[in-house]
Structure 1
Amino acid sequence: MTSTTTTTDATTEPPSYPMPRAARCPFDPSPDLMAEQAASPLTRVTLWDGSTPWLVTRYAEQKALLGDPRVSSDVDRPGFPLSAPRDPGSRGGVGFILMDDPEHARLRRMVTAPFATKKVAALRPAIQRIVDDLIDEMLAGPKPVDLVQAFALPVPSLVICELLGVPYTDHEFFQQNSNVLVSLTPTPKERGEAVRRLTDYLHDLIGTKLHRPADDLLTGLAERVRAGEITQLEAAQIGVLLLVAGHETTANMIALGTLALLEHPEQLARLRDTGDETLAASAVEELLRYLNITHGGRRRVATEDIEVGDVTIRAGEGIVLPNEIANRDETMFPDAATLDLSRDARRHVAFGFGVHQCLGQGLARVELKVVYSTLYRRIPSLRLATDLDSLSFKTEGVVYGVHELPVTW
């Protein structure tokens, strides 16, 4: 016999989620979230709409549930724990990310090949050129400079534009609309309009690829449209997903990772001075574990009753899985609050787990490895041009980072 008892007293309302980070500890998860992890692997929380899904706080339970076929990513299922209100007039969603198999697998397979390990590795020289060119521009320009706008955002934007076949000259348009999608402050109508603008943009671009094919991912989708395997709208929605995800998370990881290293100078010195490719790869994994850019937890809903320890998650109940707390689980990562670039952190869940594990993780790793092994070597005296307390952090959305990062040298 199972129990649904949790650390939350049945007579009190479960705590609100998301839980605020401590202002003076911008790299750490919320202290309230840490307290919930210490108390129990599962507890109830209250979301913006008054719903009370399960919060999964520990690594083992998160990984088990992310790999469980009885856990759904379908946002249209009753009980799905939405992070914000939806626009009722929205046409469709953003690609396959909020779908279940077999439809999820069918659409995802259409764009898997460009993200295969060998394909991504072949992009490294081009990524290196992009990184070096942007550093050259920074070195030739005035100081201080906002590293977000001058470097962190252009690197992944240029890369994903090249991969997809999207003109980088349109980057202000898609970055502005992308910012609306990853923020929780716009109204449902504003988010819906941003989705429609991006979808229409990609729809037109895929139409162009049908008549003027090129060597890029959108042309590949256009060929599937021509073959009748997918509609042009579905292809456009996949394009929106890849365009937004392809630059938002990596851009914030570059900036926040740089800030973390500047605040841990002994770790930065090791990375900058050794020139060890193995350490650079290790640094990427440890920073992904330590920082966690995706904010607000992965959202799921149970399709059947699932027993987790002495708790039963009932069919139709929502599940929230915040990866930042799983990656600070001491049972998996001893001394988890310490940034240690030599740690073997490869088992982190920054990219998720199971069938919905991030498609672009290989590309993100290559981009970050090039950045972390180049930026600090080429600008060895890089430092903050302000103090940590003056920085503004992105706590208002589903992607965490800094709004601006003034640096000098």
Structure 2
Amino acid sequence: MSESVHTFTTMPTERQPGCPFDPPKELLEAREHGPISRFPFPDGHQGWLVTGYDLVRAVLGDQRFSSRKELMRHHWAMDLAGMEIPPAPPGEFLLMDEPRHGRYRKPLVGKFTVRRMRQLTERVEQVTAEHLDAMEKAGPGADLVTAFAKPIPAVIICELLGVPYEDRGSFQDNIDKFLGGEVSDEELIAAYIATQTYLAELVAAKRANPTDDVLSDLLDSDLNDEELKGIALILLSAGFDTTANMLSLGTFALLQNPAQLAALRNDPTLIDPAVEELMRYLGIVKGFPRVALEDVELGGQTIKAGSIVVLSYNTANRDPERFTDPHLLDLRRQDGGHLGFGHGIHQCLGQQLARVEMRVAFSALIKRFPTLRLAVPAEEVALRPETADIYGVKSLPVTWDA
């Protein structure tokens, strides 16, 4: 094993002042030492942090690395007091390997195809227009997070799953708590339990009175109510929080890059590459852990069986060996292939829906409000902490000329 491999002492959690879109400086500097670093966990476990694009992508596609929750004991931040980690609850397939993972994902694949998601475009356009109308009617000055970025994906995912829209407030708050990185362990657990309770009631309601939605469609499968509840949790949280933060943080990034914003406004055909570039550049999903099931050679290092490997998506997407001028937001970028939606068997199931929502929402926003700008200095925009599972802004005050 190479003696020159970089070693972290703690996970970097602070972004540079004035650089809200860049990963923490220490992570970027580690990439200069090579694509893989040693990373000791707080309990003493000697794990690894992978920052290079090629290695992150390789691990995501290698089934010798597991996603199983019960194998990740050293990764969880909570004090476990010697407790064993149970397997992921039924249906929560992000923390599973094959064949359990496939049992839950396969029935969903046909419901999130490119064709089916494009059929949703008209509805996304309608929902987006309704919220822009409300902003315009209220007059200049709005928090783009609450007026625009959160409600659009919330309406769509509620309709897809058959969640009554009037219930959105409680589940939005709870999802914010267990993905936002700013509450105590007790509050996080309480939010998770409250969401589980709500979804159990929702599944029972669908059993009694099926409607035209994804959850009701799954009632004819061999999935039981506990499994349906777990699937609903994954779809609800992933389908809402990630897109909401891409819309708000993406708008912030465009406003801070006026030449790129002008290019997009002047050439609407740039919207597809713009969405992909924002996914690469922003890296709102910072990464996921994997655990080696056997000894694996990776980047010149031997990863011992049982070792946890943390994959840094946001540095992989800024890898200078993969992307030209990686820290530059370039909507005309030619070197695509970002990992913003992951890779391998766990690649984001709802990526086509997210693309539709971003294409429609960004395009409509900049067309409706050509003078849109921040209402506060950029350094005063409230950001989610680096400890959050999904990075983003907590509020984005904007204004425009009436």
Normalising by the smaller structure, the TM-score range is over 0.9
Task: Please report how far the alpha carbon of residue 323 of structure 1 lies from its aligned counterpart in structure 2 after TM superposition.
Answer: 0.5
Tell me the amino acid that sits aligned with residue 165 of structure 2. Y
Q: 2:353 maps to what in 1?
A: 363
TM-score in terms of structure 2 length? 0.94
User: Is the Cα contact below 8 Å between 2:289 and 2:308 reproduced in 1?
Assistant: yes
Match of 1:183 among 174, 177, 180: 180
Task: Please report how far the alpha carbon of residue 41 of structure 1 lies from its aligned counterpart in structure 2 after TM superposition.
Answer: 1.3
Task: Please report how far the alpha carbon of residue 380 of structure 1 lies from its aligned counterpart in structure 2 after TM superposition.
Answer: 0.5
For 1:61 and 1:381, the matched residues in 2 are separated by 42
Match of 2:159 among 153, 162, 167: 162
Equivalent runs, 1:5-404 vs 2, <5 Å: 5-8=3-6, 14-77=8-71, 81-85=75-79, 93=89, 95-224=92-221, 229-276=222-269, 279-295=270-286, 297-395=287-385, 396-404=387-395
- Cα distance 1:92–1:335, how it changes in 2: closer, same or farther (>3 A)? closer
User: Is the Cα contact below 8 Å between 1:53 and 1:317 reproduced in 2?
Assistant: yes
SS state at 1:300 partner: strand
Cα RMSD (Å): 1.9
User: Is the Cα contact below 8 Å between 2:149 and 2:247 reproduced in 1?
Assistant: yes
- Cα distance 1:372–1:230, how it changes in 2: closer, same or farther (>3 A)? same
User: Is the Cα contact below 8 Å between 1:275 and 1:373 reproduced in 2?
Assistant: yes
- Cα distance 1:360–1:150, how it changes in 2: closer, same or farther (>3 A)? same
Task: Please report how far the alpha carbon of residue 233 of structure 1 lies from its aligned counterpart in structure 2 after TM superposition.
Answer: 1.0
- Cα distance 1:361–1:144, how it changes in 2: closer, same or farther (>3 A)? same
User: Is the Cα contact below 8 Å between 1:91 and 1:196 reproduced in 2?
Assistant: no
What are the ranges of 5 or more consecutive residues in structure 2 without an aligned counterpart?
none
String of CA shifts for 1:111-158, please: whole Å, max 9, x gaps: 222111111010000000011110000000043110000000001001
User: Is the Cα contact below 8 Å between 2:174 and 2:195 reproduced in 1?
Assistant: yes
For 2:88 and 2:299, the matched residues in 1 are separated by 37
What are the ranges of 5 or more consecutive residues in structure 1 without an aligned counterpart?
none
Counting aligned pairs with the same residue, the percent is: 40
SS state at 1:97 partner: helix
TM-score in terms of structure 1 length? 0.92
- Cα distance 1:157–1:36, how it changes in 2: closer, same or farther (>3 A)? same
Please identify, of 183-192 and 101-110, the stretch whose mean Cα deviation from structure 2 is larger.
183-192
For 1:199 and 1:6, the matched residues in 2 are separated by 46
Q: What is the count of residue pairs matched by the alignment?
A: 396
For 1:135 and 1:85, the matched residues in 2 are separated by 45
- Cα distance 1:49–1:128, how it changes in 2: closer, same or farther (>3 A)? farther
